[in-house]
A and B are shown apart, each in its own frame.
Chain A
Amino acid sequence: MGDLQIKKSAKQYDAVIVGSGAGGGMAAYILANAGLKVCLVEAGPMYDPRTNVTQFKNPWESPRRGASTKYRPFGDFDACYWGWEIDGEPYTKESGTQWDWWRARMLGGRTNHWGRISLRFGPKDFKRRSIDGLGENWPIGYDDIKPFYDRVDKMIGVFGTNEGLENDPDGFFLPPPKPRLHELMIKKAGIASGVPVIPSRLSILTKALPGNKDRGECMFCAQCGRACSYAYADFSSSSVLVNPALKTGNVDLVVNAMVREVMTDREGKATGVSYVSKDDMNEYQVNGRVVILAASACESARILLNSKSQRHPNGLANSSNVVGKYLHDSTGTAMGGVLPQLFGRKRYNEDGVGGMHVYSPWWGDNKKLDFPRGYHIEYWGGMGQPAYGVGWGTEGMNGKYTVNGQKKEAGGYGASLKEDVRYFYGASVGMAGRGEALSLESNYCAIDPNVVDKYGIPVLKFNVKWSEHEINQAKHMKETFREIMHNMGAIITWGDDGTKENNYGIDTPGKIIHEAGTIRMGDDSKKSALNKWSQAHDCPNLFNVDGGQFVSQADKNITWTILALSMRASEYIIDEMKKQNL
């Protein structure tokens, strides 16, 4: 490398967007289609499911048969690049606390990883403080966001059913797929315990999306996690938002660009961002009338906290001192086992869509329970594609259950063992709760004063602990799961290990990969970083459109709300620019 110098782009963009996931992808799409000139900066490489294919591959096409690596923690065929650890990009934790930080580094960001579960927040989810006195109300209500949810439904596509539920609003749904065999059993078992089991709501095109020629109908391979190479039939930001945005000709996409900070002028207004290119290790600056952060709740907070200046000594948009605080993830715990009635079952293709066909929205009344917020239940099971781990532990099964009517000794080998593996295949069933955690000021990420990453950027240090609210909720999940498993005659083989000592098996914070709350919105600029338009109180031409802006995240996966809020903020930006306010 020669002399280190900063390369400044001469081009003045209307908007510089950091991050190309759900929030950044939507902002790029809306702004570019309105004719604004956009620079979209992504920390990972280019990615397009059509050229980067892992779909319709057989297990033997992976040398490790689909097992996970640090590069692909959810398995070798998973579309997502990186996950819990990235070479050269560490993060730290306060001792005695836990936070695992998932980072997708690629075009489309974390939309390459998620389960396509697309749930609207309900009216109560924006006003929880009014209901239980905990946390904070959002500065907006359901009616403010509903028109945007409606448009996201129609523009991106989601299947489901209108059930008229008070806090799980109806939408514009494509028809859901019929339940699989184990899902019919789950439905019966759930209803017997008063747990509703209804069609899931996933952003997968079970029918062609009206008016969209670029995307096709689902081919039911169950592989949305690998991204849909053949039909773009699932929602990924790259194929559904960024590609169409690029086609407008109004977007310059810069990949492998790791943003250091937001630059500001003497008045404290944002002027653009500086980044280091992972390709050539040179330093760059790019300017825009507005800067939109959509790098993930924690990464966006990191950028703000690293953007210190005379006007913003505490980091940008942080005169309230809330940036990095109120960090929260969904709660989660799971249980699984086998359905003996499915041993030796008839074979047929039951792949279905990539994920569950049914789920359970929250049914309880928290006033009568010892935890304040609800959870939903996700389900799985059946005859999936064999992968690393298939047949593993047969010695724990074949001595316990008769095989084709025959009592056997545990373990063994030979033709008899092959019979056992075939017999037990496809009988598994499992479920997991995804609950709302309280967003607490005491749970936060901040800049580690001692550690930088390989680019010299100071890293985040996490300090997060569950409170009794989340732990009590996990206890209730375990009790519910046990009852549903029992109702359908399942044998629990794992996850029934919840005790007070292990916090009822609740996953450690971060593990559910729904980070939110670090740059929250609010009417009071002393208690929030953004106003209700996702706009920084301290810096009017700075916006945040990822999970950072969330005041609370309900028991609903947050992507659909990120999309709706990003669309709303983007149109606000267009309006304000027309009015010469930005």
Chain B
Amino acid sequence: MDRRKSLKALALGTLSAGVLLEACGDGDKKAADDAAKASQPAGTIDRMKEEEAHYKQVTSSTFFTPEELATITILGDIIIPKDDVSGSASDAKVPEWIEFIVKDMPEHQVPMRGGLRWLDMQCLRRYEKAFKGCTQQQQMEMVDEIAWPAKAKPEMAQGVAFFNLIRNLTVTGFYTSEIGVKDIGYKGNTPNKWNGVPDDVLKQYNLAYTDKENKECASYT
């Protein structure tokens, strides 16, 4: 940039991206919006350029082998199966999310990779097959050895630690998915007016607003 252009840039410092967008016609704005969306691979949320670069870098490689991911998928659906209320972990694409999150949070990589191998070695000794090649009955026998922290045998402690981790990743991945948020019954994230705790809930807990609160607090019709 030459000196004159820089000076102009300085003088026009107010012409930020936002102002420029406003100054454009609607068609231009739409094109700009589309372009902005296309350059935001991390989704629909505002990102600074360093975050976009980080996302690209994180997603440019694959961490789990196909075998590992298959095992994660089986375990995920044991932890979160389809029930009367909602679908399973794999319905909510939890295995794909776990693939992403271990790359975004590298501290999970060794415990996950090592835990999966620990599990396969246990199964190999017991059933002469890796976990995913075992029968469903064998898989559940193995899972029951490591899924109950308080009653697991001491020699299963590493397996318990692994199962705690994959249980937590699966649960948190599931309950932050569209299926999971509906399942847990979260009702917010939408424009509304807060008029206080519903009457039936107040009654249930034997609570009431004071006259002072009713008088001084905001209410909406």
Do B205 and A391 touch across chains, with their CB atoms under 8 A apart? no
Considering only residues 14-47 of chain B, those with a C-beta below 8 Å from chain A are: 14, 16-19, 21, 42-46
Contact with B along A231-246 (1 / 0, CB 8 A): 0000000000000001
Do B16 and A253 touch across chains, with their CB atoms under 8 A apart? yes
The CA of A180 and the CA of B201, in the complex, are separated in Å by 11
Considering only residues 162-195 of chain B, those with a C-beta below 8 Å from chain A are: 163-164, 167-168, 171-178, 180-181, 183-195
Do B207 and A184 touch across chains, with their CB atoms under 8 A apart? yes
Nearest Cβ on chain A to B131's Cβ, whole angstroms: 14
Do A351 and B218 touch across chains, with their CB atoms under 8 A apart? no
Chain A residues, Cβ within 8 Å of B173: 65
The chain B residue with its CB closest to the CB of A425 is B184
Nearest Cβ on chain A to B98's Cβ, whole angstroms: 11
The chain A residue with its CB closest to the CB of B41 is A63
Q: Given that A346-B201, A385-B186 are contacting pairs, would A280 and B218 also be in contact in the complex, using a CB cutoff of 8 Å?
A: no
Nearest Cβ on chain B to A318's Cβ, whole angstroms: 29
Q: Given that A9-B7, A63-B42, A178-B194 are contacting pairs, would A422 and B81 also be in contact in the complex, using a CB cutoff of 8 Å?
A: no
Do B10 and A254 touch across chains, with their CB atoms under 8 A apart? yes
Task: Give the secondary structure class of A's interface.
Answer: loop
Among B86, B176, B181, B207, point to the contact of A181 (Cβ < 8 A): B207
Interface size on A, residues (CB 8 A): 103
Q: Can you report 17 A-B residue pairs in the complex whose CB atoms are below 8 A from each other?
A: A7-B10, A9-B10, A48-B16, A51-B17, A64-B101, A81-B48, A179-B209, A184-B197, A184-B205, A220-B194, A346-B201, A351-B188, A390-B171, A391-B171, A391-B175, A411-B167, A422-B185
Do B13 and A255 touch across chains, with their CB atoms under 8 A apart? yes
Chain A residues, Cβ within 8 Å of B189: 56-58, 221, 223, 351, 385
The chain A residue with its CB closest to the CB of B214 is A178
Q: Given that A61-B43, A181-B201, A414-B81 are contacting pairs, would A45 and B48 also be in contact in the complex, using a CB cutoff of 8 Å?
A: yes
Do A206 and B80 touch across chains, with their CB atoms under 8 A apart? no
Nearest Cβ on chain A to B67's Cβ, whole angstroms: 21
The CA of A46 and the CA of B17, in the complex, are separated in Å by 7
- Is A353 among interface residues, defined by CB-CB distance under 8 A? yes
The CA of A388 and the CA of B169, in the complex, are separated in Å by 9
Interface size on B, residues (CB 8 A): 85
Nearest Cβ on chain A to B123's Cβ, whole angstroms: 17
The CA of A387 and the CA of B186, in the complex, are separated in Å by 11
Do B11 and A11 touch across chains, with their CB atoms under 8 A apart? yes
Chain A residues, Cβ within 8 Å of B193: 219-220
Among A58, A79, A220, point to the contact of B181 (Cβ < 8 A): A58
Chain A residues, Cβ within 8 Å of B155: none
Do A50 and B218 touch across chains, with their CB atoms under 8 A apart? no
Do B187 and A52 touch across chains, with their CB atoms under 8 A apart? no
Chain A residues, Cβ within 8 Å of B42: 62-63
Do B201 and A392 touch across chains, with their CB atoms under 8 A apart? no
Do B184 and A246 touch across chains, with their CB atoms under 8 A apart? no
Chain B residues, Cβ within 8 Å of A406: none
Among A59, A221, A351, point to the contact of B176 (Cβ < 8 A): A59
Do B209 and A417 touch across chains, with their CB atoms under 8 A apart? no
Considering only residues 25-64 of chain A, those with a C-beta below 8 Å from chain B are: 39, 45-46, 48, 50-54, 56-64
Do B43 and A386 touch across chains, with their CB atoms under 8 A apart? no
Do A413 and B151 touch across chains, with their CB atoms under 8 A apart? no
- Is A199 among interface residues, defined by CB-CB distance under 8 A? yes
Residue among B14, B46, B164, B192 with max Cβ neighbours from chain A (10 Å): B46
